[in-house]
Amino acid sequence: MWVCKDCFADEEIRQEILNNFEQEGVCGICGKNAKLIESSYFIDFFRAVLSLFQPDNTSQMTMIDIIDRDWKLFANTKCARSIIGEVLDTTNYGFGLDDHVSYTNDILDNVSVWEQLKKDVKENYRYLFDHEKFDVCADLSPSYSLNAGAVLYRARVTPEGQKKLRCKEMGCPPKEKAVAGRANPFGIPYLYLCKKEKTTYYEIRAGFLDKLSIGKFKIKKDLNIVDFNSKISLFYSFEEGGSLPDIVAKNKIFDAISSDLSKPLCRYDTELEYIPTQLICEYCKLNKADGICFSSSLHKGGVNFVLFDPDDATCTSVICREIKTIDIDIEK
Ligand SMILES: [Zn+2]
């Protein structure tokens, strides 16, 4: 079957088709006139992808659901069904397009190191835990550079009677007032910042008609960041000789850590809840990271940063904002 780049969402696959197309004509899936490649060009890759799954009656998802949720390889379900269907026809994998599947037990076992570590540091060992297996499954080395001059944002509610806070009031609290957070332990302040100004409104959970002071923070030097938000291209990793099961496990662990880091603080939380993510930050520091970044759970598409040394960024100006509308929705 001849296919075009627009049947795929993965940038690396799209580029591969543009670089290696064999003819121009009508795509066998979407019907567009485009540059085409034989779908068999990708057969080894998709065989490796199919090997990531096992039949699982307790799962609610098909393989295509999981690929769409985690990897966004295809432009739409029709493209996914055509390509995956063709590979399924060549070998008996023990499941079909509409069967419910999960990742293989080996992958799930590796992903579970995060849940195990959380349990261990809450219930068994606090400071010196067994991290050998965790290290193998999740590499917490910095993968991203936040360059000097980059601008990030931080908000505080402006106290009654004041127009706005001053630059020096926008940083994190001093050591003696630093309460524990998801990333920082009690007594060790970190600087929590957002990539976009708008994300700060959500992160401080601003209410209707709240007046906010928004601090613009400039990064002083190039910083090494552990990016829990990064999405690796499965195809690129395969081409580079990476092990897909290992990449899937690492990605799932990073997603889970990112989600735990971005859970809003709740007044009923005990400080025990924050220990695992605080530990992860300490671990990143040992790996020479200056900070971390992860997705905001409160603002879709928002990215949060935590800098371990609050002096790595300086507040250069403060602007006032007032919350005029609040958009409330229910989860569907
Ligand atoms: Zn197409």
CA 240 / ligand 1 centre spacing (Å): 25
Please compute the mean of the pLDDT values over residues 99-121 and round it to a whole number: 93
CA 87 / ligand 1 centre spacing (Å): 17
Residue 122's pLDDT is what?
Answer: 87
The candidate with the shortest Cα–Cα distance to 20, out of 33, 2, 46, is: 2
Most confident of 168-177, 213-222, 256-265: 213-222
Lowest mean pLDDT segment, chosen from 36-45, 197-206, 318-327: 318-327
CA 7 / ligand 1 centre spacing (Å): 4
Report the chain's C-alpha Rg in angstroms: 23
Sole residue written with tokens 């849940």:
115
Burial grade of 305 (CB within 10 A; 0-12, 13-18, 19 or more)? buried
The answer to whether the Cα torsion of 160, 165, 168, 169 is positive or negative is positive
Find the largest Cα–Cα distance for the chain. 72
Q: How far is it, in rounded angstroms, from Cα 113 to Cα 110?
A: 6
Helices (H), 159-292: 197-203, 234-239, 244-261, 275-286
| Length of the chain, in residues | 332
CA 41 / ligand 1 centre spacing (Å): 15
Please compute the mean of the pLDDT values over residues 233-262 and round it to a whole number: 93
User: pTM of the prediction?
Assistant: 0.88
The gap from C-alpha 12 to its chain's centroid, in whole angstroms, comes to 19
The answer to whether the Cα torsion of 241, 246, 252, 258 is positive or negative is negative
The candidate with the shortest Cα–Cα distance to 307, out of 199, 226, 212, 201, is: 226
Residue 66's pLDDT is what?
Answer: 96
CA 130 / ligand 1 centre spacing (Å): 49
Task: Give yes or no for residue 160 having a pLDDT over 80.
Answer: yes
Q: Are strands 223-227 and 291-295 parallel, antiparallel or unpaired?
A: parallel
The gap from C-alpha 35 to its chain's centroid, in whole angstroms, comes to 33
Please compute the mean of the pLDDT values over residues 136-156 and round it to a whole number: 92
Q: Model confidence over 14-42: pLDDT tens digits?
A: 999 999 999 999 999 999 999 999 999 99
The gap from C-alpha 177 to its chain's centroid, in whole angstroms, comes to 30
CA 203 / ligand 1 centre spacing (Å): 41
Q: How far is it, in rounded angstroms, from Cα 301 to Cα 288?
A: 27
Q: How far is it, in rounded angstroms, from Cα 80 to Cα 131?
A: 38
In this structure, the number of other CB atoms found within 10 A of the CB of residue 285 comes to 17
CA 29 / ligand 1 centre spacing (Å): 5
Please compute the mean of the pLDDT values over residues 189-202 and round it to a whole number: 94
CA 244 / ligand 1 centre spacing (Å): 25
Q: How far is it, in rounded angstroms, from Cα 33 to Cα 304?
A: 42
Would you state the structure tokens that stand for residue 94, as one six-digit string? 């023990």
Please compute the mean of the pLDDT values over residues 8-16 and round it to a whole number: 96
Task: Give yes or no for residue 264 having a pLDDT over 70.
Answer: yes
**Mean per-residue pLDDT over the chain, rounded:** 91
The values of phi and psi at residue 23, to 5°, are -160, 170
CA 38 / ligand 1 centre spacing (Å): 11
CA 45 / ligand 1 centre spacing (Å): 18
On the CB side of 229, CA atoms within 13 Å amount to 18
Assess contact for 67 and 9: CB atoms under 8 A.
no
Task: Give yes or no for residue 223 having a pLDDT over 60.
Answer: yes
